């Protein structure tokens, strides 16, 4: 127990030590290097709004490199393309250069542009090797993998991998513990239902409660009905809601289906949930969501695809990666304790450790995160995610103490 508390203390120090030196500017610094000889200092900017891009390009800054995102490049209709092409034509008329992903000039506005360059110098880019040197990583991935004309989004793929690996690991656990595999399918079904339903309802309750009035059906279905009906997927999932629902559905499964002590199931399910958390955060990373606050440390990542709901597009903490890697380490820790110690026989101990460590990580990473929606719950400077994490941390600690005393008796 003392070693666990020391580990959490180290994590607190690490996270809080990086919570300073935040960059509030909308322009970041970079250098365009041509043939490793000529260099051009540029200010980097990105926005989904073309009007913002035009305003910045018209500013007094002499050298600006705009990184375009999907809102600027992939119109959903002819009307949107007409809107975008009018801006692209104006950029050209003003002498700004439209560039492809290799910093070569785009021949026409119909071709795919990735950058817009405004320069006070008459530099030659065509047929030259151009490299952008920056102190941070630019994360600007495609939305997914195109398979026979169908776009498989990375977020959905991460969900599939999470549940697929989770099923295989639980199958292995059932075999180790001598449990009939016929109980796997209902566990998978109840876990899937609890995760999606709980995460969606939790997000709306904790962050977007106005949807119950403004767009009721979007709460329960993967669509929005206003201003028009559109398939969106479940846009907004909260891990706290998923946790509550999973505890309830697993309780039902334990008592009514497998007929075992619920803590026997919780101890083992916590192992695969930690791994699933890693893949879901990787999905958030691909979506450029759940991002951190602005900063200029070595951890900084630039997300051109981020929503402006998080604020201006500048280098930020990659909180999805920080949280996801923490969950992956937790998975390996729980798996080793399950396989190499007798803790799996101390019912409730593994689940208690899972709750305490996972939600402690979530609590401290929240210091680096931007708000995920409307903060309905806040107290003493803590945000909604942190306050909702505290009960799970204390429950986890209580389970560890309870299971230890029960073993001694």
Task: Grade residue 327 by pLDDT with cuts at 50, 70 and 90.
Answer: very high
Same domain, 352 and 327: yes
User: Does residue 32 contact residue 103 with C-beta atoms inside 8 Å?
Assistant: yes
Mean pLDDT score, 116-136 = 87
Q: Write the pLDDT tens digit of every residue in 14-28.
A: 444 444 334 446 788
The total number of structural domains that make up the chain: 2
In a domain, 8, yes or no: no
Same domain, yes or no: 67 and 192: no
Q: Are 107 and 159 in a shared domain?
A: no
Main-chain phi, psi angles of 335, to 5 degrees: -65, -40
Tens of pLDDT, residues 258-315: 999 999 999 999 999 999 999 999 999 998 988 999 988 888 999 998 888 888 889 9
For residue 221, what pLDDT is reported?
Answer: 64
Residues 158 and 74 reside in one and the same domain: no
Q: Confirm whether 5 is domain-assigned.
A: no
Distances in Å between the alpha carbon of 131 and those of 33, 240, 311?
Answer: 5, 43, 28
Q: pLDDT (tens digit, 9 = 90+) per residue, 232-252?
A: 555 666 677 778 888 888 899
Q: Are residues 110 and 212 in the same domain?
A: no
Q: Residue 352 domain-assigned?
A: yes
Residue 288 lies in a domain: yes
The residue range of the domain holding 57 is 28-134
- Inside any domain, residue 350: yes
- Is the predicted pLDDT of residue 93 greater than 50, yes or no? yes
Going by the DSSP 8-state scheme, the letter that residue 26 receives in this structure is S
pLDDT at res. 191? 84
Per DSSP, helices labelled H in 108-183 are 154-176
- Give me the mean pLDDT over the 335-351 stretch: 93
Check whether residue 323 and residue 397 sit in a common domain: yes
What is the arithmetic mean of pLDDT over 39-62? 90
Q: Are residues 75 and 152 in the same domain?
A: no
* Domain shared by 62 and 193, yes or no: no
pTM: 0.81
Would you say 346 and 403 are in contact if contact means Cβ atoms under 8 Å apart? yes
For 166-217, what is each residue's pLDDT tens digit? Answer: 999 999 999 999 999 899 898 888 888 777 777 777 667 766 666 666 666 6
In a domain, 3, yes or no: no
Residues 216 and 279 in one domain: yes
Residue 79 neighbours by CB under 8 Å, 6+ apart: none
Which pLDDT score, from 0 to 100, does residue 370 have?
87
The per-residue pLDDT for 24 is 46
């Amino acid at each position: 127990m003392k070693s666990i508390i020391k580990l959490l203390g180290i994590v607190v120090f690490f996270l809080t030590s990086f919570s300073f030196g935040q960059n509030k500017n909308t322009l970041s610094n970079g250098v365009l290097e041509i043939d490793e000889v000529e260099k051009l200092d540029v200010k980097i900017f990105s926005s989904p709004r073309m009007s913002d891009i035009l305003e910045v390009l018209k500013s007094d800054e002499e050298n600006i490199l705009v990184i375009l995102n999907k809102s600027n490049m992939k119109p959903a209709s002819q009307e949107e393309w007409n809107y975008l092409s009018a801006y692209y034509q104006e950029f050209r008329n003003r002498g700004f250069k439209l560039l492809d992903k290799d910093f070569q000039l785009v021949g026409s506005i119909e071709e795919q542009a990735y950058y817009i360059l405004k320069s006070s110098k008459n530099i030659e880019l065509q047929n030259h090797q151009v490299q952008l040197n920056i102190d941070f990583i630019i994360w600007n991935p495609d939305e997914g993998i195109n398979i026979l004309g169908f776009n498989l989004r990375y977020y959905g793929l991460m969900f599939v991998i999470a549940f697929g690996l989770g099923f295989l690991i639980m199958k292995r656990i059932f075999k180790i513990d001598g449990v009939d595999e016929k109980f796997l399918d209902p566990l998978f079904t109840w876990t899937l239902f609890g995760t999606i339903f709980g995460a969606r309802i939790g997000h709306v309750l904790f962050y977007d409660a106005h949807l119950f009035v403004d767009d009721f059906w979007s709460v329960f279905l993967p669509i929005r009905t206003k201003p028009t009906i559109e398939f969106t997927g479940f846009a907004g999932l909260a891990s706290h809601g998923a946790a509550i629902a999973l505890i309830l559905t697993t309780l039902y499964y334990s008592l009514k289906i497998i007929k075992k002590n619920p803590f026997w199931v919780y101890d083992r399910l916590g192992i695969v949930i930690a791994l699933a958390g890693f893949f879901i955060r990787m999905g958030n990373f691909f979506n450029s969501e759940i991002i951190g606050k602005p900063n200029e440390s070595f951890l900084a990542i630039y997300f051109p695809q981020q929503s402006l709901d998080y604020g201006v597009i500048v280098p930020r903490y990659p909180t999805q990666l920080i949280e996801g890697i923490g969950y992956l380490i937790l998975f390996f820790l729980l798996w080793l304790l399950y396989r190499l110690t007798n803790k799996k026989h101390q019912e409730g101990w593994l689940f208690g450790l899972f709750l305490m460590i996972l939600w402690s990580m979530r609590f401290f990473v929240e210091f680096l995160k931007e708000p995920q929606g409307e903060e309905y719950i806040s107290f003493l400077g803590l945000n909604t995610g942190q306050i909702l994490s505290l009960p799970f941390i204390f429950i986890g600690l209580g389970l560890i103490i309870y299971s230890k005393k029960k073993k001694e008796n």
